């Protein structure tokens, strides 16, 4: 095998077969994949399905706490979980740029395989394309995920006044970690992406009961996600700034660049809106689950500012938070 | 809305929401999509699943007979069909390059919607990313498809000596049409991509009975696909060159560029290997179905050259056809 990706590896011929047989199939081994048909045949599911997809164009492809491969598994797995599903199967599609290092590709494939194994999902079908130098950026990935529905009815429309707004840990770490990896922040410290799969955490929260809606605050961060929950509705969300966990490193990085941690992406945090009577139980369930130790209640659903998110600041004032406008952090996922 | 795609449209914030709400949702309207959750919730399927994915990087994005949008639907729909599935749902993920024309994006989305409607599949979930100028090529698409299994057991391992090899129409049109669109061929004539969905044609063939395996000969063409059927096996495929339909325009285009139509991609042709006793019935069923009018038998499965495809030439000689080596036609899909 060559040391770099050439256009031949996207031909659909001998080189493509080599990539599949020597790197991809050995990494993901499972019966559905090994048939190498045009599509994977999967057993009849026991319930309704959840289906999601994401493309990943993060630059650089490696950052503290993760890489594009880990992100490609977590991103889609988490979307399936947030929609109430238990993820089972992934597709994987790679758009490689001519000249990309074969060793880096192997490392990314290994990261995908490791993360998928940890989550318990199988990569069952895939595709590889190669574009000429100057028409990509090393590697872009796409994953699509199929899960079975374990919690029907999750919806922002189920949110009611008095509901609690919970977050599973400190916010904005992923965005800051990618900026550090780009050399835009002069200090590292303990700065690390929160990139992690949320299947256990979402299952724990759902089992505790009373969950209205789940969402992972990726692009646009916590502020954008919560804004989407209440826009066009008669409800508002009031956040207590002092309750929102932000790592000091992330706070410092954002301050340096004039960014707001509430708009910085997470890739392994979960927002849950729950009925008031189960909020404490959901919080305790999240705290007992790996990745949710730092779960806290950050606010309440009210009717004070219909359609808006209001931040009660540490100084005693308040300001409205809208959706992210402009591209605060391009290509962070 | 701006006239060109800017990085803001990939932010996950206001502009991304605008793209979704003003272009994507109106084009694809369906209840699963309109919830705009992290994933689509779909009814419990009646049988086993077929799951497939492809990314599309064709250049230019428009060519005689199709465009990247039509291709993105047909490519994945056809993969689901070839694996024995009836396609039901698609995901759609776009990687847009900063500066791409908004009007072209609208045109591509309309083409996706039109093709999906014709096939009877729903686009139920999606994603949009934007990369900086110089890190893409206008637009790349990914689709993943879910279908229900209608024909279990299709496999190249089911092929037996004496089986017939059928093709649904003339070969290599798609590859030649893309080369024409690139200006690499100085004449057009009736040159047009065969890009079309194969769900009716595959259903007709399967209903006729005795089908061992189906495959659409995309990248690598007919020669590569048939080579994959017999490699590592005790069987060979003997093709009759005079029986293989090649449009005169495609023949001339390939001759001019030193290419072989048997390695040029199709995007709407189907190869079927069938039991000898049902071959005629399958052929007649294909010919009665739109898109299969030109179906013919092009060869037989034998044991004369284990693991190989042998072409019996018009001149009375013979030559072995292997998988495509090198990238004959980069970025044709």
Name the residue in chain A with its Cα closest to that of B326.
A8
Q: How far is B159 from chain A (nearest CA, A)?
A: 14
- Chain A contact set for B322 (CB, 8 A): 14
The partner residue sitting opposite B80, judged by closest CB among A16, A39, A137, is: A39
Contact B38 A80 (CB under 8 A): yes
The partner residue sitting opposite B220, judged by closest CB among A13, A48, A93, is: A13
Residue B227 vs residues A36, A320, B166: alpha-carbon distances, Å:
14, 63, 15
Cα B212-A31-A51 angle, rounded to 5 deg: 95
Contact A41 B6 (CB under 8 A): no
Contact B38 A82 (CB under 8 A): yes
Cα A166-A170-A171 angle, rounded to 5 deg: 90
Residue with tokens 């952090």: A329
The partner residue sitting opposite B146, judged by closest CB among A43, A146, A218, is: A146
Contacts of A333 (CB under 8 A, 6+ apart): A54, A56, A57, A58, A71, A75, A174, A218, A219, A265, A267
Q: How far is B75 from chain A (nearest CA, A)?
A: 10
Label residue A314 exposed, middle or buried (CB < 10 Å: 0-12, 13-18, 19+): exposed
Q: What is the DSSP letter of B44?
A: P
Query: Would you state the pLDDT for residue B186?
Result: 82
Query: Would you state the pLDDT for residue A326?
Result: 74
The partner residue sitting opposite A41, judged by closest CB among B40, B50, B220, is: B50
- Chain A contact set for B137 (CB, 8 A): 131, 135
Phi, psi of A284 (to 5 degrees): -65, -40
The partner residue sitting opposite A131, judged by closest CB among B17, B132, B137, is: B137
Best residue of B11, B134, B269, B272 to probe chain A, by most A CBs closer than 10 Å? B11
ipTM passes above 0.85: yes
Query: Would you state the pLDDT for residue A133?
Result: 96
DSSP B314-330: TTS-EEEE----S-SST
Contact A39 B327 (CB under 8 A): no
Query: Would you state the pLDDT for residue B328?
Result: 62
- Chain B contact set for A127 (CB, 8 A): 53-55
Query: Would you state the pLDDT for residue A330?
Result: 83
What is the reported pTM?
0.97
What is the SS3 assignment for A171?
coil
Best residue of B59, B327, B329, B331 to probe chain A, by most A CBs closer than 10 Å? B327
Q: CB count, 10 Å around CB of B249?
A: 20
The pLDDT tens digits along chain B (333 residues) read 899 999 999 988 899 999 999 999 999 999 999 988 889 999 999 999 999 999 999 999 999 999 999 999 999 999 999 999 999 999 999 999 999 999 999 999 999 999 999 999 999 999 999 999 999 999 999 999 999 999 999 999 999 999 999 999 999 999 999 999 999 888 767 899 999 999 999 999 999 999 999 999 999 999 999 999 999 999 999 999 999 999 999 999 999 989 999 999 999 999 999 999 999 999 999 999 999 999 999 999 999 999 999 999 999 999 999 998 876 678 999
Contacts of B258 (CB under 8 A, 6+ apart): none
pLDDT by residue (tens digit) across A181-231?
Answer: 999 888 767 899 999 999 999 999 999 999 999 999 999 999 999 999 999
Q: How far is A91 from chain B (nearest CA, A)?
A: 6
- Chain B contact set for A147 (CB, 8 A): 39
Closest CA to A84 of A261, A213, A185: A213
pLDDT over 90 (residue A4) = yes
Query: Would you state the pLDDT for residue A12?
Result: 86
Across A98-130, b (16+ Cβ under 10 Å) vs e yields: bebebebbeebbebbbebbeebebbbbbbbbbb
HSE of B254 in the Cβ direction (CA atoms, 13 Å)? 22
pLDDT by residue (tens digit) across A143-184?
Answer: 999 999 999 999 999 999 999 999 999 999 999 999 999 998
How far is A134 from B134, CA to CA, in rounded Å?
6
- Chain A contact set for B175 (CB, 8 A): none
What would the mean pLDDT of A124-129 be, rounded to a whole number?
97
The partner residue sitting opposite B57, judged by closest CB among A129, A149, A330, is: A129
| All domains of chain B in start order, with CATH | 7-149 (3.30.1330.10), 156-321 (3.90.650.10)
Contacts of A309 (CB under 8 A, 6+ apart): A223, A226, A227, A230, A236, A237, A238, A239, A320, A321, A322
Q: How far is A64 from chain B (nearest CA, A)?
A: 22
DSSP B156-190: GGG--TT-EEEESS-SSHHHHHHHHHTT-SS--TT
Contact A140 B137 (CB under 8 A): no
Give chain B's length.
Answer: 333
What is the SS3 assignment for A82?
helix
Q: How far is A9 from chain B (nearest CA, A)?
A: 8
How far is B10 from A220, CA to CA, in rounded Å?
10
Contact A146 B49 (CB under 8 A): yes
Work out the pLDDT band at A327, boundaries 50, 70, 90: low
pLDDT by residue (tens digit) across A277-296?
Answer: 999 999 999 999 999 999 99
Work out the pLDDT band at A127, boundaries 50, 70, 90: very high
Q: How far is B2 from chain A (nearest CA, A)?
A: 13
Closest CA to A48 of A175, A157, A150, A120: A150
Detail the DSSP E strand segments found in chain A: 40-42, 49-56, 62-63, 66-67, 85-97, 122-131, 139-149, 164-167, 211-215, 236-240, 271-274, 296-302, 309-312, 318-321
Name the residue in chain B with its Cα closest to that of A87.
B39
Closest CA to A30 of A106, A83, A89: A89
Query: Would you state the pLDDT for residue B330?
Result: 83
| Mean pLDDT computed over every residue of chain A | 96
Contacts of B14 (CB under 8 A, 6+ apart): A322, A323, A324, A325, B8
């Amino acid at each position: 095998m060559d040391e770099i990706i050439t256009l031949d590896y996207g031909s659909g011929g001998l080189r493509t077969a080599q990539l599949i047989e020597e790197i991809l199939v050995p990494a993901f081994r499972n019966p559905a994949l090994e048939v190498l048909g045009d599509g994977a045949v999967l057993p009849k599911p026991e319930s309704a399905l959840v289906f999601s997809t994401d493309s990943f164009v993060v630059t650089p492809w490696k950052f503290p706490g993760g890489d594009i491969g880990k992100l490609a598994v977590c991103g889609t797995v988490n979307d399936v979980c947030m929609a109430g599903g238990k993820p089972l199967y992934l597709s994987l599609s790679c758009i490689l740029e001519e000249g990309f290092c074969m060793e880096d590709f192997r490392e990314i494939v290994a990261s995908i395989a490791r993360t998928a194994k940890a989550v318990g999902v199988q990569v069952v079908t895939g595709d590889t394309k190669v574009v000429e130098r100057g028409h990509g950026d090393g590697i872009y990935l796409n994953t699509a995920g199929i899960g079975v529905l374990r919690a029907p009815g999750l919806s922002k429309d189920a949110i009611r006044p008095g509901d609690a707004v919970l977050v599973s840990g400190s916010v904005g770490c992923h965005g800051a970690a990618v900026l550090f990896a780009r050399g835009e922040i002069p200090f590292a410290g303990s700065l690390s992406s929160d990139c992690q799969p949320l299947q256990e955490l979402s299952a724990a929260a759902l089992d505790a009961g009373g969950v209205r809606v789940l969402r992972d605050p990726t692009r646009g961060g916590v502020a954008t996600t919560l804004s989407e929950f209440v826009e066009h509705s008669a409800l508002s969300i009031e956040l207590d700034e002092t309750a929102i966990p932000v790592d000091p490193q992330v706070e410092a990085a954002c301050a340096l660049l004039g960014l707001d941690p509430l708009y910085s992406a997470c890739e392994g945090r979960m927002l849950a809106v729950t009925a008031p009577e189960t909020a404490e139980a959901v919080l305790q369930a999240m705290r007992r689950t790996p990745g949710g130790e730092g779960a806290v209640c950050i606010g309440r659903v009210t009717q004070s500012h219909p359609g808006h998110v209001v931040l009660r600041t540490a100084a005693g004032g308040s300001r409205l938070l809208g959706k992210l406008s402009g591209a605060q952090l391009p290509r962070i996922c």
